[in-house]
Structures are given as C-alpha cells and as structure tokens.
Amino acid sequence: MEIARLEPFPLVANYDGLSANADYTVVIVDDHSILIDTIQATSDENGNLAITLTDYFSKYDDEYRLEIYDDSDTLVLFDTLTIMRPYVIPSSLAETEEELQDITDYEMIARSIINSITGGFLYQLQRIEAVGTGADYLSLPYRLNKILQVYENNILVYNAEDPTFTNIRDYFITVDQATIGVVQAGTWDRKQGRSVRPQIPSSDSFTMYNTNDSPNIIMDAAGTPSFPNGWDYQIYAEVGWPIIPHDIKQAASLIINDIKCNNLPYVNQYISEYKSDQFNIKFDALAFKDTGNRIADKILSAYVRPIYRLGVL
C-alpha cells in the first residue's frame, strides 16, 4: 500500500477482510527491521481496519513493513507500507473523480522515472555512522537539514528532541549542507585533517612546544580536534529535500501528460535516423536512458544523481 504524504494529517492506512469488531496490534518496522511504532486498532462491523498513523509518518518519506496481529498474537496480515510525498498533487491534474485514480497511478510512474535519474527528492530520517578523522568537521554522505541526535563513542552528547537534556556539545551544519561541526566560542580555525606533526611526552621537553631541546619534533599547539581520529559517531538527522523544486513538479507533470495521452515514444524521443518506404527508423541510445520527453530530460539534467555509498566498480 502506498499513502501520499499530504494533508490531512494524521495519515490513515486502511485494510479490509479482517474479523469484525476485533482488536489488533499493528507493528511497523523499517527496511532494516528496526521497530518504528506499535499501534492498537479495532476493526469495524465489516472487518475494515483503519490504522491512524502517528505524526512520525507524516514527516518522512520511506518504506516500512507493516504487520497486523490479532489478540492471540497470531500474524494475520503483513504488507509493504510506502509513504511518499507526490511530486505533483494528482487532484490538481485530474478533471473528474473517475480520472483521479489514473492520474495517481501515473504520478507514481513519473516519480519512479525521476528517482531513477536523479536519486529522488525524498525527505527522510537517517541514522548515519561515521568515524572521526582528526578534523574539526565531519563529512556525512547526505543533504543535511537538521541534526536530531549525536552519539560519540556510544554516548549521547547531543539531543535536539529532548528539551530537558543537557547537551555536552552543540553541533551545526556547515554551509555546504554535507558536513557538521561543533559550536565553539570565539574565532574558529578549522582543522582540515589529522595533524602530521608527532606529539611527544612532556617529560621529553622542558617547554610546552619543545622549542629548544629537539627542533625536529614540535608539539601541536592547535588543541584537540572536534572529531578525534578513530572516534565513532552515530548521527540521527533529517536529510533530503524539505520541498519539491518547482522544475521537478513541471517535469513530473510533463511525464504524467505523456502517459495520460499515450504519446508514442518515437514522436518525442531520440530519432537519429529516419527513412521512408517501410519506415526504417533508428533510435539513438539515449532513447532508452531518459524519460522520452526532451523538455523533462533538460530539467532533470540539472540534478546529478548523488553517490552516498562507494562500492566496487
């Protein structure tokens, strides 16, 4: 089941075919089997179960596994629950109620095409693991919007969700939206990486920075970096796109219209050669790579698909 992440909130998931007037427990986990929520619900006299989702599901785009258990803890139904914000609101394109379902289906297809080219415009809660490099900033492989929690060596040091929690450190997102730093008083000379100058024990020098007895070894006076080398970090952050860019809405509308009007692919795609007499048409390779709508392709070309995880080539 896919639910559009649109008003009115809270979102409601409806399932039928269950026992009438029965109590059920709904368990929702993410795609890594981490428990997200447990909801109690009761079916009506027709066996329809309306599950009112909590505010968490109104905030983020994601896919979940939904499991429904009866009062004897027997699994009676499971489903993939998809909650996504449409790139264009179907009701704004549908002229009649009968057409609304078709436009809704076309929007799903258009969104899938755009996601395959650009990586998508989702807004999600991500748990990110990183290792300090001895610098004053920590690079994270996402488009960052808000830092919610930071664990340092498995100790919670920052929690923006609990106003009663005393933060050990305060973090901020740098202007490139791809790194985080620690709030510091006064001026800040950001360390770009782990120092290559070796440290020496205080017993080996008569002065703090070893300026007289061993000029070849100099103590690093810059202080401890914000993210020491080898330290483990776990960051909970809101990442992605809080809004859908207007040109992406336009591209989605163009693709939806093509599907709706059943435009023939060779009319608007990449014909590299055409011959009359039996219609010998030759397609360019790009005809099978992009959307088939040249205007939509031009719009999407401005958005480079991000690489969040390096792999083996």
Tens of pLDDT, residue by residue over 128-184, are 999 998 888 899 999 999 999 999 999 999 999 999 999 999 999 998 899 999 988
Tens of pLDDT, residue by residue over 208-224, are 554 555 544 444 545 67
Residue 313 lies in a domain: no
Who's near 29: CB < 8 A, 6+ residues apart? 35, 36, 64, 65, 67
Statement to judge: residues 142 and 190 lie in one domain = yes
pLDDT of residue 301: 85
pLDDT of residue 8: 92
Statement to judge: residues 211 and 155 lie in one domain = yes
Low-confidence ranges of the chain (pLDDT < 50): 210, 215-219, 221, 264, 266-268, 276, 288, 311
Average pLDDT of the chain to the nearest whole number: 83
Q: Locate 203 and state its tokens.
A: 């017993």
pLDDT of residue 241: 95
Boundary of a domain, candidates 187, 220, 240: 240
If one counts every other C-beta atom within 10 angstroms of the C-beta of residue 167, the result is 14
Boundary of a domain, candidates 198, 225, 240: 240
Statement to judge: residues 181 and 281 lie in one domain = no
pLDDT of residue 294: 78
Beta strands 12-15; 49-52: pairing state: antiparallel
Residue 116 lies in a domain: yes
Instruction: Give the count of domains, the chain.
Output: 3
pLDDT of residue 279: 53
DSSP state of 283: E
Beta strands 280-283; 123-131: pairing state: unpaired
Boundary of a domain, candidates 29, 56, 85: 85
Q: Where are the beta strands (DSSP E) in the chain?
A: 2-4, 12-15, 23-29, 35-42, 49-52, 62-69, 75-84, 123-131, 137-139, 144-152, 155-159, 171-173, 179-182, 232-240, 271-275, 280-283
Statement to judge: residues 259 and 116 lie in one domain = yes
Statement to judge: residues 236 and 156 lie in one domain = yes
Statement to judge: residues 25 and 160 lie in one domain = no
Q: What is the pTM of this model?
A: 0.78
Statement to judge: residues 133 and 184 lie in one domain = yes
pLDDT of residue 260: 84
Statement to judge: residues 53 and 63 lie in one domain = yes
Residue 116 lies in domain: 88-122+244-306
Phi, psi of 40 (to 5 degrees): -95, 135
